[in-house]
Amino acid sequence: MGSIDPQTIWQERVAKKQQECFDKIPTEWRISTDLTTGLQVPLSENKNDLIQADIIRKAGLLTERELEITEQYTPTGLVSALADGRLTSIEVTLAYCKRAAVVHQLVSCLTETMFAEAQARAQYLDDLRAQGRSAGPLHGLPVSIKDNFHYKGTEATIGMVSFLDDVSTENSPLVDILLKLGAVIYVKTNIPQTMMTTDSHNNVFGRTLNPWNTALGAGGSSGGEGALIALRGSPLGVGTDIGGSVRIPALCCGTYGFRPSASRIPNGGMRICNTSGMKFILSCAGPLSLDLNGIELLMESVLNAQPAVYDSTVIDVPWRKVDVKPKLRIGVVPEDPIFPLHPPVRRVLTEATRKLEAQGHRIIPLSAKECQLLAVNAVAWSIFQLDDAAVKHILSAGEPVVPAMHHIRKQGEVLRQSHSSSMPDVSGLDRLGQLALLNTKRAELREMYRKLWVRYDLDVCISPPAQSTAVAHDTFGLPPYTAFLNTLDYPSCVIPFGKVGEQDAAENFELQDGQVGPEYDFKQLEGAPCSIQVFTSTMRDEECLQMAKQIDQCLNMIVCSLSAKSPKCLFWLVTDAMLSSPAVWRDLQERVIAATGSTILVPIHDDARDQPLLMTILHREGLVSSISEDTALQICSFFSIGPSLSMELCQMIRSRIQGSPMLLLRPYTTVARVLLRCMGNQTPYYDTDLSDCASSLQTLRNAQITKAENVGSFLALGLSLVTFHRLISGVSASTICRYTLSLVRPYYYANQLSSSDSMELTCLVFMDTTQSLFRARIPVIQYQVRDPYIVDRHAGLCGPLLPLLYRVCLLAAAIRTGSGDVPSPASFDSLTEEITAWTPNISKDALERFSQEEMYLLVTQASLHRTAALLILHRLRYPFGEKDEEAEALSRTIISEITHCLALANQYPPNITLIFLVAGAEVHDTAGKRHLLSLITKIMGANFYPFVANLRMFLARAWAGRDQGTSRYLFRLFEEDPELSIPL
């Protein structure tokens, strides 16, 4: 224990430490006080969603490249990109150092920063890579660690004054292993006082805030890790867990967290505040990440690194490759009446159970009596109370006990008074006798659970991870739904699933006598992440993770709440089509032979008995996913104007997949998965999604269309890949769009396309034309109006406007390149008159086909594009500074119409975001800019669509240029970033 100068009061020592920590943040990485002007302060007392506010981007300290690195890659994706040279360790490390610094200044999640050392190590690793060598499976990957790990040259204070100024002289064993594997350790993260509460608050480093709602706790004791990872300040972190200290921050902050079996991951050589040698329920080091592949990466890498060589307390069992059954027997731990669940937690557990059952898993409900949650937890709490060393550390330094510790003690007292008969009776025993009795009771409970697994033949169990989501600071209290698994020593994983929503508002919740838990305040908790917990019996860590991945896929990807053969299931008809397609069977036969080297198991097309085998393999290959009709319409409505066109899009997708299942099912389902995750505020994509679409992109690149009847399939493939790219990246998908159009252009001009091809074609032409307007280039296809009354799900009534927009592009390209004749004033006047005179064609059929609101949105979309075309044409003729009054009048017309549409229909027409940019470039006054930015937040998908961030950036650039008196043409603003996506 560090020595304490009696002449130095604890506050002075803390102030010195806090100043040292602040000074380590480079001046250029410090956030502006203006950043919090749009937030409710103080942050810890007010509800602020830093994630939805996109606060890191707003800070303006990270470059676009750094934002891409920290936001668009998973841990495994980073490792892959580092290995093949797409990324360097130095740029990845710098990006995460900067982001961690920004995150810390908002939520107080760090205790030690090693930014300079980390960058030096990253450079060393890059030099090593340049020599063709690799340090290990984590080569170049930044990894954050909890404060209790020793890292040579830093302090491991664990938030206690008594350990201040005690510099670590060596690394903890796990730190040495991570470095050996190639990781870059760059920060240590905050914890609670004593590390034995569920709120990461201490007197040295202060309180860690929850990024989803700063008025709520981040959980503990690895709360700094949870908050840092939730705001993407770390791709992969390591915490420790003795009662839920990895899993509770994961559930509070909406991340994944894994508690391994005790002694699998090195846990020795760390700072502790309990009496040395008094280890009863063992703490476990475990990872946190935003996906399960990252957690598996750390587990597999560490366990295959011979950890027993570094730590004598480790059970030396290397990582095992395991297969799990496609259909699981899942036990469900219910609500315990002594520890009642908040309404959203109860709802999420029920929803998870239903979804898993709908996917064919066998659900085995367990009873509260069988699970004996109080009895198991009582053993844990009684064991923890045998050691009072932590309190002595606090008293020796003169610092006060934090409120969360008082709260936990009060809850414990309620349980002792109300349920004394369920508590272990240790009266009259000395500490050794108490320990013996408690260990005996623990062994009995573990044996009881062993029999439970055998009785029901369970593969895995799910449970609530806590009584609540994140709650108000200092009120989380006891963790009964995680601590019981520490007592049993079961590996367990927290999976984010859903959020507190309106459906949870009506339910009443009130604690009864003898019950303990946090109070429930819906308004305070609305929007907080929800989770479930997955666990297996001890030492089955590999199985636990694999089954957690299986359950995660069921819950957070494309799932169906209907039975497998429900006629309402969108993809059941697709499956029927696949079963009747000889081409599918031939492809399948080739796969089976390649995988098995045998023709014995090859399914036969006309043998109905082999259809289940086909379905099994297709499911395993990820080629068949069940999407309910409601979910399909939800997806299609995101890309369409109103329910009528959404239904038509849904039917078209079904038809396309039936016609070309092997070509289109994978990219379509990938887009659906990513969109559903985005709308659910989850990790948007995984490496498998990138791999699937990369394979489809290669197919598109190699395509040679020899028959007109194949055009529609490749239009659909190109459009699905463009859509996927736009969902995950702020980089332009224009190359894919233009390449697809170039493939089909000969058939289009030869008038060989069928009417069913018009939907995808018009979408792609509309995208290419609008991109070309801003890049001042010529579109691939000059659209020909063959049906003046066509209504497109993307372009709406704007199809007949496309030829006029094409002519605007020709003028822009001529001005940009300086080639050919300079457009004459007469050509501008003529085109302006034609665009002004243009009105959308509305047939009687359309009036009957669409609702009044749908027609309003369609007409508004057309009107906005016409006005935007006039404004673009004006700015091609007159650069900024000339005839600004006319441009500003057109801008006001656009903004007024957008505002009116939002007020009347409570939504915008889809695909008008480029219009914000056209109109916004003409706005000068502060109030007008604020109004426009507020309108942008109402764009569908604004909270996750990458190009919406580009829209804000381009507007900022336009405004800065105008403020500096630029006289450039509008399209010149975008030449600096030719690869960035123009908002569509």
The first and second tokens of residue 882, run together, are 């000339």
Determine contact, residues 547/604, Cβ cutoff 8 Å.
no
CB 547 within 8 A of CB 324: yes
What is the CB neighbour count within 10 angstroms for residue 888?
A: 16
Q: How far apart are CA 446 and CA 906, in angstroms?
A: 56
Q: Could you give the C-alpha distances from 633 to 725, 752, 792, 939, in angstroms and in order?
A: 21, 30, 17, 19
Contact 518, 474 (CB under 8 A): no
| Beta carbons of 799 and 790 less than 8 angstroms apart | yes
Query: Could you say which DSSP state residue 203 is in?
Result: T
Which amino acid is residue 545, in one-letter code? L
Q: Can you tell me the distance from the alpha carbon of 954 to that of 973, in angstroms, rounded to the nearest whole number?
A: 8
Helix (H) or strand (E) holding 207: strand 206-207
Cα separation, 864 vs 842, whole angstroms = 16
Q: CA 932 to CA 950: how far, in whole Å?
A: 15
Backbone angles phi, psi at 210, to 5 degrees: -85, 125
Bridge partners, residue 113, by sequence: 187
Count of alpha carbons within 13 angstroms of residue 631, beta-carbon side: 24
Rounded to the nearest angstrom, the gap between the alpha carbon of residue 517 and the centroid of all alpha carbons in its chain is 29
Q: What CA–CA distance (Å, rounded) separates 75 from 297?
A: 8
Residue 145, phi then psi, degrees to nearest 5:
-130, 150
**Annotated active-site residue in 17, 98, 146, 549:** 146
The number of angstroms, rounded, from the C-alpha of 15 to the middle of its chain's C-alpha atoms is 36
Nearest CA among 167, 227, 221 for reference residue 197: 221
Q: Does 42 sit behind a cis peptide bond, omega within 30 degrees of 0 on the bond before it?
A: yes
DSSP 910: S
CA dihedral 125, 126, 130, 132 (to 10 degrees): 40
Calculate the alpha carbon distances from 96 to 25, 116, 635 in Å: 13, 12, 33
Given a contact cutoff of 8 angstroms between Cβ atoms, the answer to whether 197 and 245 are in contact is no
Instruction: Identify whether the C-beta of residue 198 lies closer than 8 Å to the C-beta of residue 222.
Output: no
For residue 209, the surrounding DSSP H or E stretch is strand 209-210
Phi, psi (degrees; rounded to nearest 5) at 694: -65, -40
Concerning whether 742 is annotated as a catalytic residue, the answer is no
Rounded CA-CA distance 28/301 in Å is 35
- 844 among known catalytic residues: no
Angle at 192 between CA 263 and CA 147, to 5 degrees: 55
CA angle (860, 864, 866) in 5-degree steps: 120
Paired tokens of 842? 């509305």
CB 129 within 8 A of CB 140: yes
Catalytic position from the list 144, 162, 234, 245: 245
How far apart (Å, rounded) are the C-alpha atoms in residues 716 and 692? 16
C-alpha–C-alpha distance, residues 265 and 282, integer Å:
12
Using CA of residue 57, residue 61, residue 65, residue 66, what is the dihedral sign?
Answer: negative
Give the pairing of strands 110-113 and 329-332: unpaired
Burial class, 702, CB count within 10 angstroms (exposed 0-12 / middle 13-18 / buried 19+) = exposed
Q: Which of 168, 221, 222, 283 is catalytic?
A: 221
563 is catalytic: no
Cis peptide before 713 (omega within 30 of 0): no
Give the active site residues: 146, 221, 245
